[in-house]
Amino acid sequence: MKITEYIKNSQGKTLFSIEILPPLKGKSIHSIFNGIDPLMEFKPAFVDVTYHREEYVIRRRNDGTSEKISTKKRPGTVAICAAIMNKYKVEAVPHIICGGFGKEETENALIDLHFLGIDNILALRGDSLKTETTFQPEPDGNHNALELVQQITNMNNGVYLDLELTNPFPTSFCTGVAGYPEKHFEAVSDASDLNFLKRKVDAGAEYIVTQMFFNNQKYFDFVKKCREIGINVPIIPGLKPITNKKQLEILPQIFYTEIPQDLVNSINKATTDQAVKDAGIEWTIMQSKELKAAGVPVLHYYTMGLSEATRRIASDVF
């Protein structure tokens, strides 16, 4: 079932959802199940599974020459989605990215998802490779999430890349896209970022999931600005509890999000690892309760594969 239908059917009640990462290569799928099991009692409406692009390393041979070796640390997004749907009878949402994919490969991946009965997708551009200064699409690939949404919408309308296919079957994906309450780091201004977001929605995106934020006011302002320019789809807040002191430095660097001074102070005041976790979880509970009271459609938690913190939050909020 489509995420938008879950939201509609919930009749204003805030739903619970989670995002997980595929296991590191060589690890068993049971590590995923072990992370989901403790959260199932809170009845997640859906489980997002991130997609991790191939990276390359240069390996020097003994003879002095070098070879480029592909490394993919977390393969298996689509298979994990199918396994989750099969085991838990819950919607799984694969993240699909532009980076590393030609349009033909994207089309084939979408056909696989359609055959597996996966109805929902989160369409993303993906980040540039560590070796690139700016995002480089494949020569025949989508340049940004807008083009990817357009490709999915075309397939939903029965338009595949090969225009000569006879009576191609229309897919029926419900497509979500990313939104940034604190602006995407590459966007020149809030206004241009919002305009691109509006174009993704106009192209067929039916809901938005936000980047993590620690100050609810940023989310409320973002939603207001979206509504002002005619973005009327559900905007799902993404939340992550801080669970160690290093994250105070790392999260703003990776996700371009500001951490409020009050949260920094309470994390810094904590003297044990457990006290740090408690402070981070308390903050996310406070955020969650305020967002829920404001009537957000879903509270979406970035679990990063660790269920304990999300479990404590969900026990208090749902």
Kindly state whether residue 51 participates in binding ligand FAD, applying the rule CB under 6 A. yes
- Least distance in angstroms from the C-beta of 49 to ligand FAD: 8
Between 209 and 314, CB nearer to ligand FAD: 209
Phi-psi label, residue 295: left if phi above 0, alpha if psi -120 to 50, beta otherwise? left
Q: Are 38 and 307 in contact (CB under 8 A)?
A: yes
> Which CB sits closer to ligand FAD, 155 or 298?
298
Strands (DSSP E) along 204-296, which ranges?
207-212, 235-239
Closer of 151 and 266 to ligand FAD (Cβ): 151
φ, ψ for residue 101, nearest 5 deg? -115, 130
Instruction: Note whether 126 binds ligand FAD by CB under 6 A.
Output: yes
Which residues 203-242 are close enough to bind ligand FAD by CB under 6 A? 209, 211, 238
Q: Check residue 193 for interaction with ligand FAD (CB under 6 A).
A: yes
Query: If binding is defined by CB under 6 A, does position 296 make contact with ligand FAD?
Result: no
Paired sense of beta strands 91-97 and 120-124, if any: parallel
Supply the DSSP string of 209-233, one letter for each residue: EEEE-S-HHHHHHHHHHHHHTT--S
Counting contacts by CB under 6 A, is residue 266 touching ligand FAD? no
Q: Residue 192 CB, nearest distance to ligand FAD (Å)?
A: 6
Q: Which is nearer to ligand FAD, 181 or 280 (CB)?
A: 181
| Residue 301 CB, nearest approach to ligand FAD (Å) | 11
Residue in the block written with tokens 């459609």? 297
Q: Enumerate residues 9-38 that contact ligand FAD by CB under 6 A.
A: none
Candidate list 33, 196, 220, 318; residue touching ligand FAD; CB under 6 A: 196
Phi, psi of 153 (to 5 degrees): -60, -40
Q: Are 298 and 7 in contact (CB under 8 A)?
A: yes
Q: x-or-dash pattern for ligand FAD, window 153-192, by CB under 6 A?
A: -------------------------x-----x-xx----x
Q: Is 124 in the site for ligand FAD (CB under 6 A)?
A: yes
Q: Phi and psi dihedrals of 195, rounded to 5?
A: -65, -40
Task: Pick the stretch among 29-37, 111-119, 123-131, 269-277 that binds ligand FAD (CB under 6 A).
Answer: 123-131
Tell me the sheet residues that pair with 71: 55
CB of 278 to ligand FAD, least distance (A): 26
Residues in contact with 203: Cβ distance below 8 Å, sequence separation at least 6, in sequence order: 146, 149, 150, 153
Choice from 80, 93, 110, 145 touching ligand FAD (CB under 6 A): 145
- Is residue 92 within 8 A of residue 84, CB to CB? The reply is yes
> How many Cβ atoms are within 10 Å of 246's Cβ, its own excluded?
10
Nearest approach, Cβ of residue 309 and ligand FAD (Å): 18
Interface size with ligand FAD, residues (CB under 6 A): 23
Distance CA 233, CA 195 (A): 14
Residue 144 interacts with ligand FAD (CB under 6 A)? yes
Q: What angle do CA 69, 73, 74 make, to 5 degrees?
A: 140
| Interface positions with ligand FAD (CB under 6 A) | 50-51, 53, 95, 97, 122, 124-127, 144-146, 178, 184, 186-187, 192-193, 196, 209, 211, 238
